[in-house]
Amino acid sequence: MTIGMIGAGSVAMAFARYLLASGHEVELSNSRGPDTLARQLSELGSRARAVTAAEAASNNVVLLAVPWARIREALSGLPPWDNRILIDATNPYIVGGLENLHGRASSDIVSELAPGAKLVKALNTLVVENFESGATVPGGRRVVFMSGNDHLAKKQFRSLLSPAGFAIVDLGTLQVGGLVQQAGGPLVGPDFAVMT
Ligand SMILES: NC(=O)c1ccc[n+]([C@@H]2O[C@H](COP(=O)([O-])OP(=O)(O)OC[C@H]3O[C@@H](n4cnc5c(N)ncnc54)[C@H](OP(=O)(O)O)[C@@H]3O)[C@@H](O)[C@H]2O)c1
């Protein structure tokens, strides 16, 4: 399948490399337009395309991987979500630290900006280098946390990651799991594994 990417930086490129190696295609976008993504395309090869953010967001599964300060502009002017899946990899870091969300889940804010999307919060806990090291750790499998309110959307996300061997841990809803999973909590940064 083709996965759209809003953002073409470290996280999007790592996920794109992984998806391409798994047989998928990707459509990358940024705020400056497809013409500015030649370097990324030359690295990723012919199953990666550069598109506008609106085109990337038209796919059935879309990754959001932009700096927190840019989420509003990144999610504006997109086609209606119509139940398509949005994987939210963002963390609410701003200059000087974490934004104070007054107890709100950051994905709750992203959901509000992407009405009608089935949101899965995922890929925000792993530093890119760990994700790129792959699913296998000595004696076990690397953990990818996810949360979301839609069972089928989480199943779809799981189907992208588990064939490679990642251990997908479902933390529940965005309101519960999303809060546990977001930056500022204990799960962002450490490299968790399930030992086998
Ligand atoms: N780096 C990590 O290890 C890591 C791990 C987990 C989660 N995260 C989170 O994932 C998100 C992305 O991090 P990153 O490290 O990938 O950042 P990054 O390397 O700075 O890349 C950000 C990307 O977003 C694009 N962008 C900015 N504004 C945009 C807009 N309005 N529309 C479309 N694209 C836009 C940027 O391109 P232009 O500026 O050219 O538009 C760039 O391609 C952040 O929220 C971060 O906290 C990071």
DSSP assignment of 52-84, as one string? -HHHHTTSSEEEE-S-GGGHHHHTSSPPP-TT-
For the domain spanning 2-195, the CATH number is: 3.40.50.720
**Ligand 1 atom nearest to 30, measured from its CA:** 34
Give φ, ψ of 6 to 5 degrees.
-100, 105
State in Å: Cα 68 to ligand 1 middle.
8
Along the 196 residues of the chain, how does pLDDT read in single tens digits? 999 999 999 999 999 999 999 999 999 999 999 999 999 999 999 999 999 999 999 999 999 999 999 999 999 999 999 999 999 999 999 999 999 999 999 999 999 999 999 999 999 999 999 999 999 999 999 999 999 999 999 999 999 999 999 999 999 999 999 999 999 999 999 999 999 8
**Atom 37 in ligand 1: which residue has the minimum CA distance?**
30
Q: Do 184 and 98 touch, CB atoms closer than 8 A?
A: yes
The one-letter code for the residue type at 134 is G
191 lines ligand 1 (CB under 6 A): no
State in Å: Cα 13 to ligand 1 middle.
10
State in Å: Cα 7 to ligand 1 middle.
5
Q: Domains of the chain: which residue ranges?
A: 2-195
Give φ, ψ of 52 to 5 degrees.
-75, 165
164 lines ligand 1 (CB under 6 A): no
